[in-house]
A and B are shown apart, each in its own frame.
Chain A
Amino acid sequence: MKLNTRLGGSVAGLLAATLVLAACGSDDDGGSGGGDPSQNADATEVTLTITDNAIVGGKNSEGATWVTEWVIPEFTAMQEEKGVDVTVEFEENGVDDEEYKTKIALDLQSGEGADIIGIDGIWTGEFAEAGYIAPLSDVAGDAVDEWDGWEQIPESVQQAMSFGGEKYGIPLGTDGRVIFFNKELFAQAGLPEDWQPTSWDELLDAARALQQLDGVTPMQINAGTAMGEATTMQGFLPFLAGTGELIEEDGAWRGASAGVTETLGFYAEVYGGDEPLGDPLIQQEAQGRDTSFQMFADGELGMLIESDYLWRSVINPEEGIAPMPNRDEVVGWAKIPAREPGAGVNGQDFVSMSGGTGRVLNPNTEYPQQAWELLQFMNSPEAYEAMLAGSARITPRDDVNAEALAGDPMLSYIAEEVLPITSYRPSLALYPQVSVALQEATAAIVSGDSPEEAAASYQSELEDIVGDDGSVTTD
């Protein structure tokens, strides 16, 4: 997009058209194919930029601190020994995910942006289709396939940053969804401390037992549009997996199928009726998720289906936003059961969903080899150990997890028990819109529609979204 930009009022109209054509029409500035992997490979003065949705003292502070205080000095020192003068800059963000996404998409679209970019795994498909990112080996060449780190990352975790069978980035971490419950409330309701339901009915029975307690909301399962993706990930999709269905398989999107209707039926069991098991109003409030966290931390909520994020960042007694001083004693967790034993995907008894973030290389990088070297370095065992210093979280690497998670029973449980049975969202450009349609379907249940009605309107919404770009199945 090299344009002689003479900007005057009278030519603005003409110029606008020219610029738009230039911006939209040319493929090379999107950098779909990546440049020459060996470009500048022997440079002795290199500048690299990392960006991520993290900022010191704000959102994802630990990750940002790790980059500025460990990755950059260590990598610079390492390169200095090789006689290469590297300057690494870190562009911090730490804002709402959608706004961050807009910003990096604009950067990539104009052929600029950082060399290493942190993205949510679910954006991989849409970014790849837009030509914003390219397969790692197209950008950095054979060095990518030769990396020994791939062996340590399970195939399923690698999927989070892959699209169309190609690896676009290295995953940074993953997570899992379970049912968190309050053991004290369970004891009062006569439920066991090592509770593990094996079917939806057992789960609902426990909720009904909790309903007898005063001032206690039995359970919350995320629903409605206000919570955005949390509704789909923590609510709808794991339960859909519990009916044996995935939202997308072999290019076909699941419409008003039996599983979709059953899942909506489960929502109706929780939020419908005169005495609902969950508080439907929370699901409509803009700050509903915050409220559910606060209630759980205050011991007013029996069960909450959430990702390990709840454990790490919300009710964490030290640094949580709704700290729970007695978290380690009071909070229990259980796997999400399939509708009935064996009814889940792949005939599983228990199910979960996982997501994850990762880092990609900018196809427009001036220093592809050095950028890859830095990315590889950021995913080395030493790097993860440095990042985890003090706080546990699940990394993509088995070798690191084995040691790092030993001290945290909840996260070990996710790594050992949940990740083997988990499912992932389809990394397709249409997914975010389908997700919104699912959120609307659960919202309809919360406000009193029947599962059949909600499923039918979801079906027609889905057909609009998919259009000619795919197919819809109700099987």
Chain B
Amino acid sequence: MTAPLQQTDAAPAGQPEQPRRRTAVDDGDAAGLGRGRAAAFVAPAMLLIAVFLIFPAIWTLYLGLTNWRLTGLAAAEPEFVGADNYLDALNDPAFRTSLMLTLAFVFFSAVVGQSILGFSLAWAFRRLRQGIRTVVETVVLMAWIIPASVIAFLWIALLARRDGTLNALLGTEGTAWLLEYPMQSIIIFNIWNGTAFSMLLFSSALAAVPPSQFETAKMSGAGTLATLRDVVFPNIRGHVLTNTLLITLWTFNVFAPYLITAGGPEGRTEILGIYIYRVALKEGALGEGAALSLIMILINLVVASVYLRLLRERKT
């Protein structure tokens, strides 16, 4: 509950009059923006965010304390149930399973899969012909920008048991990939779907590493691993943090696998995004769905602070 409460306090910071009350400290304000004008620049975005994001978000969090449902008696007369939704969720084995699945999904598909594949591509691009690089970049980007509803059909066709493309290629006719390896399938799917972001981010990051440092490493006879560790990583630490933070957050909320597996077989791919969809939309338990969203935010907060500790502290 701490995050949203702080949020209410933090929101007015976007309004023009508040920052002025504090003492002005100039920290390299090259454009001569000044506090007042800076606040005016920030205000329109904050206003929109306040009305269309913070407001519904806080409302949602409030709903998490009620037993409100979309239909039925609980829709007519919702009751305040306090922390019941949270306790129910934490005691529900289905939720705990879903949470474990989500953590595995985020770790393997995003933190490991997308980051490593994205970085490897960016690394390989440095010594690749421009033409080939453009082709690869475009194909990887297509996997990212084609809408999820379309992509779902592509993957169903790829992994289909009867006449699927993969089975035809591997000669494994009749293998039900989505039933025998459901989690592995959606992890690979998500790597396919999201690697583009890491690839782009790391491409820019690598371009910003001073070439002289590579030269020095080469002259001192450092191998690839040593170069990555001593030259590249210290330079791109900030990018690694941004990348990991964002893809973790996004992957926690991923919903596209629902269109492929519907959370099955038997809930074995029911990651949190899908679980919340089932509870809130399919079952109409809006209060419970709202509570689950907050739990998800809190987990994200914990994960984010771990990242910050691992990656930022050493910098100073």
- Judged by CB atoms under 8 Å, the answer to whether A and B touch is yes
Mask, B9-26, CB within 8 Å of A = 1, is: 001101100000000000
State which residues 4-30 of A face B: CB under 8 Å.
7-10, 12-13, 15-17, 19-20, 24, 27, 30
Q: How near does chain B come to A376, taking the closest CB pair, in angstroms?
A: 26
In the complex, A116 Cα to B264 Cα: how many Å? 36
Q: A129-B73, A285-B161 are in contact. Are A16 and B58 (CB under 8 A)?
A: yes
Chain A, Cβ-Cβ closest to B262: A286
In the complex, A294 Cα to B70 Cα: how many Å? 35
Q: Is the CB of B76 within 8 A of A129?
A: yes
State which residues 272-295 of A face B: CB under 8 Å.
281, 284-287, 291, 294
Cβ of A400 under 8 Å from chain B: no
Cβ of B166 under 8 Å from chain A: no
Cβ of A131 under 8 Å from chain B: yes
Q: A20-B62, A102-B70, A281-B161 are in contact. Are A132 and B75 (CB under 8 A)?
A: yes
In the complex, A286 Cα to B284 Cα: how many Å? 21
Cβ of B54 under 8 Å from chain A: yes
Cβ of B46 under 8 Å from chain A: yes
Chain B, Cβ-Cβ closest to A27: B76
In the complex, A6 Cα to B35 Cα: how many Å? 27
Q: Is the CB of B261 within 8 A of A123?
A: no
Give the contacting residue for A12; candidates B15, B58, B75; CB below 8 A: B58
Contacts of B69 in A (CB 8 A): 130
Q: Is the CB of B51 within 8 A of A7?
A: yes
State which residues 55-70 of B face A: CB under 8 Å.
55, 58-59, 62-63, 66, 68-70
Cβ of B266 under 8 Å from chain A: yes
Q: Is the CB of A24 within 8 A of B66?
A: yes
Q: Is the CB of B76 within 8 A of A30?
A: yes
Q: Is the CB of B178 within 8 A of A105?
A: no
Cβ of B283 under 8 Å from chain A: yes
Cβ of B260 under 8 Å from chain A: yes
In the complex, A109 Cα to B78 Cα: how many Å? 13
Cβ of B265 under 8 Å from chain A: yes
Cβ of B221 under 8 Å from chain A: no
Chain A, Cβ-Cβ closest to B80: A24
Q: Is the CB of A287 within 8 A of B71?
A: no
Contacts of A447 in B (CB 8 A): 265-266
Contacts of A106 in B (CB 8 A): 70
Mask, B145-177, CB within 8 Å of A = 1, is: 000000000001000111000000000000010
Give the contacting residue for B11; candidates A12, A15, A105, A130; CB below 8 A: A12
Q: Is the CB of B54 within 8 A of A225?
A: no
Contacts of B76 in A (CB 8 A): 27, 30, 32, 129-131
Cβ of B282 under 8 Å from chain A: yes
Q: A9-B11, A9-B50 are in contact. Are A225 and B266 (CB under 8 A)?
A: yes
In the complex, A285 Cα to B69 Cα: how many Å? 29
Among B12, B69, B264, find the residue whose CB has the most chain A CB atoms closer than 10 A: B264
Q: Is the CB of B281 within 8 A of A102?
A: yes
Contacts of A123 in B (CB 8 A): 71
Contacts of B68 in A (CB 8 A): 24
Contacts of A24 in B (CB 8 A): 66, 68, 77-78
Give the contacting residue for B70; candidates A9, A105, A285; CB below 8 A: A105
Give the contacting residue for B71; candidates A27, A127, A281; CB below 8 A: A127
In the complex, A130 Cα to B286 Cα: how many Å? 14
Contacts of B267 in A (CB 8 A): 225
Give the contacting residue for A9; candidates B46, B66, B160, B262; CB below 8 A: B46
Q: A30-B76, A286-B261, A287-B156 are in contact. Are A99 and B281 (CB under 8 A)?
A: yes
In the complex, A430 Cα to B50 Cα: how many Å? 38
Q: How near does chain B come to A192, taking the closest CB pair, in angstroms?
A: 30
Q: Is the CB of A17 within 8 A of B62?
A: yes
In the complex, A281 Cα to B175 Cα: how many Å? 10
Q: Is the CB of A129 within 8 A of B72?
A: yes
Q: A24-B66, A285-B161, A286-B178 are in contact. Are A130 and B261 (CB under 8 A)?
A: no
State which residues 319-342 of A face B: CB under 8 Å.
none
Q: A16-B62, A99-B281, A281-B176 are in contact. Are A126 and B78 (CB under 8 A)?
A: no
Contacts of B54 in A (CB 8 A): 9, 12
State which residues 36-52 of B face A: CB under 8 Å.
46-47, 50-51
Q: Is the CB of B50 within 8 A of A225?
A: no
Contacts of B178 in A (CB 8 A): 285-286
Cβ of B179 under 8 Å from chain A: yes
Cβ of B120 under 8 Å from chain A: no
Chain A, Cβ-Cβ closest to B152: A286
Q: Is the CB of B283 within 8 A of A433?
A: yes
Cβ of B138 under 8 Å from chain A: no
Cβ of A260 under 8 Å from chain B: no
Q: Is the CB of B156 within 8 A of A226?
A: no
Contacts of B282 in A (CB 8 A): 98
Cβ of A432 under 8 Å from chain B: yes
Cβ of B213 under 8 Å from chain A: no
Q: How near does chain A come to B94, taking the closest CB pair, in angstroms?
A: 10
Q: A19-B59, A129-B72 are in contact. Are A443 and B12 (CB under 8 A)?
A: no
Contacts of A102 in B (CB 8 A): 70, 281, 284
In the complex, A101 Cα to B178 Cα: how many Å? 29
In the complex, A98 Cα to B282 Cα: how many Å? 6
Mask, B278-313, CB within 8 Å of A = 1, is: 000111100000000000000000000000000000
Give the contacting residue for B73; candidates A8, A130, A226, A432; CB below 8 A: A130
Q: A7-B51, A129-B71, A130-B72 are in contact. Are A12 and B8 (CB under 8 A)?
A: yes
Mask, B173-187, CB within 8 Å of A = 1, is: 000101100000000
In the complex, A225 Cα to B262 Cα: how many Å? 9
State which residues 436-466 of A face B: CB under 8 Å.
436, 443, 447
Give the contacting residue for A16; candidates B55, B66, B72; CB below 8 A: B55
Q: Is the CB of B75 within 8 A of A130?
A: yes
Q: How near does chain A come to B23, taking the closest CB pair, in angstroms?
A: 22
Give the contacting residue for A286; candidates B55, B260, B281; CB below 8 A: B260
The 9 closest A-B pairs by CB, nearest first: A9-B50, A429-B72, A130-B75, A284-B265, A126-B71, A9-B11, A286-B262, A16-B59, A12-B55
Other 15 A-B pairs with CB < 8 A, given A129-B71, A130-B73, A284-B179: A7-B50, A16-B55, A30-B76, A98-B282, A101-B70, A126-B284, A129-B73, A129-B76, A132-B75, A224-B264, A225-B264, A226-B262, A285-B179, A286-B262, A433-B283
Residues of B that sit less than 8 Å from A by CB = 8, 11-12, 14-15, 46-47, 50-51, 54-55, 58-59, 62-63, 66, 68-73, 75-78, 156, 160-162, 176, 178-179, 260-262, 264-267, 281-284
15 cross-chain CB contacts under 8 A: A9-B51, A10-B8, A16-B55, A20-B63, A30-B75, A99-B281, A102-B284, A129-B71, A129-B72, A129-B73, A130-B76, A225-B266, A286-B260, A286-B262, A436-B283
